[in-house]
């Protein structure tokens, strides 16, 4: 957009992964900095021509976010309540509880962002915040976003160490669990503090959300592009380097951990399937049909784990891709378009839904175990006993409900000399925490 002093642009030229930032008026071309990026032209936007959200769109987006937050928060709270009885003895329960705490923090920040972003953000009609509240929400979100992928990855590694490598409880605690807690605390706090200190938290161009960004300039800085102030231009250059770097760092960190979690989960599933095929003559699986049923259960559970892992990084990755493909100006200008708004609503519902997905995975094997024992009991009755932590052998069936006699109990799996009950410890559980892995799968190398 031309101004009274002539057109001034910032050119961002990509060259073998690095980029050169130029300022031109247009007869002067001076290199100013080097940083990562792609072809972009930054210019002063004509705010009156931007297609922002209407009141109805913003209300719909906020309602969808609240519904997703409520489901996720309740799911995470339920996991913490059900797992707290076993925190002392079970690594799995501790990892799941911390993962749920991270999910709760993220969902709360996701909703509060709708109201605590800066008031100069166009299309955000109910905001009461400023730069400080936006920075606080962005820092807390960054901390939660550091916790969730890491503990998803830690759960996958834990299953692999316990089932495939036959590590003992003590060895896992000292070699895996303690380092994970320390690294998570250091990384989460460091990236949040770095974002605040470098003033790198702002409203994302692809959504109404405070995170590592510098694309939406406050009104007092909009004249930077059409002035020759060196201080002003230096501020612009800093805003265009540090926030994208931090954003790329965290998205890359989440993507790498998610991919590795999928690899470890696939390795554990493959091991269990192989062991099941070797136990066709055992008490647990007498027939090929029984083995196939067990393999199907394992496959479904593994797919649920993979979907939950993918949900932790898919939507941030899509946001980055949308920005890179469309560019800063086009992203802002199309926020109110029907197609782009529909994508935003879908992301707003699924992205904060991690806690709800986790409790489905957490409860599914136990629900199936209780359903086999009490086939005509209501879902509410079974869920109530699960929330209370009732033992299935100590519960009387409700009136008019048949009880199915289970097959004779097999010898319990060995505990690897750890003193930890393996039937209480697994997400891919050796009895019924997630996968109903037979004892041979745990006992053999």
For residues 351 and 106, the answer to whether their CB atoms sit within 8 Å is no
140 to 109, 120, 144, 253: CA distances (angstroms): 7, 22, 6, 17
Query: Would you place residue 11 in the very low, low, confident or very high pLDDT band (cuts 50, 70, 90)?
Result: very low
The DSSP-derived string for 207-251 is SS-EEE---S--GGGGGGGGS--HHHHHHHHHHHHHHHHHHHHHH
Ranking 47-61, 94-108, 298-312, 392-406 by mean pLDDT, the lowest is: 392-406
CA separation, residue 115 to residues 108, 124, 289, 440 (Å): 12, 8, 55, 54
Task: State the average pLDDT for the chain.
Answer: 72
Distance CA 171, CA 416 (A): 11
Confidence at 288, pLDDT banded by 50, 70, 90: low
Q: What pLDDT does 434 receive?
A: 41
Mean pLDDT in residue range 272-281: 74
Please compute the mean of the pLDDT values over residues 10-27 and round it to a whole number.
36
| CB neighbour list of residue 247: distance below 8 Å, 6 or more residues apart | 211, 212, 213, 320
Q: Which of 208-217, 263-272, 286-295, 326-335 has the lowest mean pLDDT?
A: 326-335
- Region 103-131: mean pLDDT is 83
Instruction: Provide the token pair at 183.
Output: 């690294």
Q: In sequence order, what are the residues at sequence separation of 6 or more whose Cβ sits closer than 8 angstroms to the Cβ of residue 154?
A: 95, 176, 177, 180
pLDDT grade for 94, boundaries at 50, 70 and 90: very high
Peptide bond into 38 cis (omega under 30): no
Tokens 């799911």, residue located: 75
Write down the pTM of the prediction. 0.72
Q: Which residues pair with 40 in a beta bridge?
A: 12
For 296-329, the pLDDT digits (tens) are: 777 777 778 878 888 877 887 777 676 666 655 5
Structure tokens at 445: 């190398």
Q: Domain coordinates of the chain in residue numbers?
A: 9-42, 51-363, 367-443
Classified by CATH at the fold level, domain 51-363 comes out as Rhopdopsin 7-helix transmembrane proteins (1.20.1070)
Residue 118 pairs in a beta bridge with 129
- With b for 16 or more beta-carbon neighbours within 10 A and e for fewer, the 296-324 pattern comes to ebbeebbebbbebbbbbbbbbeebbebbe
Residue 346, Cα to own-chain centre: how many angstroms?
15
């Amino acid at each position: 957009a031309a101004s009274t002093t002539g057109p001034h642009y910032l050119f961002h030229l990509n060259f073998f992964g690095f980029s050169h930032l130029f300022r031109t008026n247009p007869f002067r071309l001076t290199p100013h900095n080097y940083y990562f990026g792609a072809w972009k032209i930054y210019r002063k936007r004509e705010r009156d021509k931007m297609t922002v959200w209407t009141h109805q769109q913003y209300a719909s987006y906020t309602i969808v976010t609240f519904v997703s937050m409520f489901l996720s928060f309740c799911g995470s709270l339920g996991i913490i309540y059900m797992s707290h009885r076993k925190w002392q003895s079970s690594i799995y329960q501790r990892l799941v509880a911390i993962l749920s705490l991270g999910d709760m923090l993220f969902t709360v920040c996701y909703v509060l962002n709708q109201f605590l972003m800066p008031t100069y953000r166009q299309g955000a009609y109910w905001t009461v915040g400023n730069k400080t509240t936006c920075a606080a929400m962005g820092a807390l979100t960054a901390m939660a976003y550091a916790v969730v992928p890491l503990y998803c990855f830690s759960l996958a590694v834990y299953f692999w160490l316990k089932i495939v490598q036959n590590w003992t409880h003590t060895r896992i605690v000292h070699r895996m669990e303690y380092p994970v807690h320390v690294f998570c605390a250091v990384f989460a706090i460091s990236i949040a503090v770095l974002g605040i200190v470098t003033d790198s938290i702002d409203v994302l161009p692809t959504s109404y959300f405070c995170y590592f960004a510098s694309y939406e300039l406050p009104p007092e800085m909009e004249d930077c592009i059409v002035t020759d102030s060196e201080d002003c231009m230096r501020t612009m250059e800093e805003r265009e380097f540090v926030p994208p770097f931090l954003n790329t760092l965290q998205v890359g960190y989440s993507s790498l951990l998610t991919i590795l979690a999928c690899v470890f989960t696939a390795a554990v599933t493959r091991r269990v399937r192989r062991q099941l095929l070797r136990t066709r003559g055992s008490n647990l699986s007498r027939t090929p049909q029984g083995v196939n049923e067990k393999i199907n259960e394992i496959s479904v559970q593994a797919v649920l784990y993979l979907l939950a892992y993918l949900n932790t990084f898919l939507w941030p990755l899509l946001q980055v891709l949308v920005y890179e493909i469309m560019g800063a100006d086009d992203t802002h200008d199309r926020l109110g378009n029907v197609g782009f708004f529909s994508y935003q609503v879908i992301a707003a519902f699924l992205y904060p839904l991690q806690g709800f997905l986790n409790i489905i995975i957490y409860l599914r094997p136990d629900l199936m175990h209780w359903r086999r024992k009490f086939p005509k009991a209501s879902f509410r009755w079974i869920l109530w006993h699960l929330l209370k932590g009732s033992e299935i052998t100590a519960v009387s069936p409700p009136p008019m409900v048949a009880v199915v006699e289970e097959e004779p109990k097999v010898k319990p799996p060995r505990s690897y000399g750890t003193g930890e009950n393996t039937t209480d410890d697994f997400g891919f559980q050796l009895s019924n925490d997630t996968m109903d892995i037979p004892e041979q799968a745990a006992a053999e190398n």
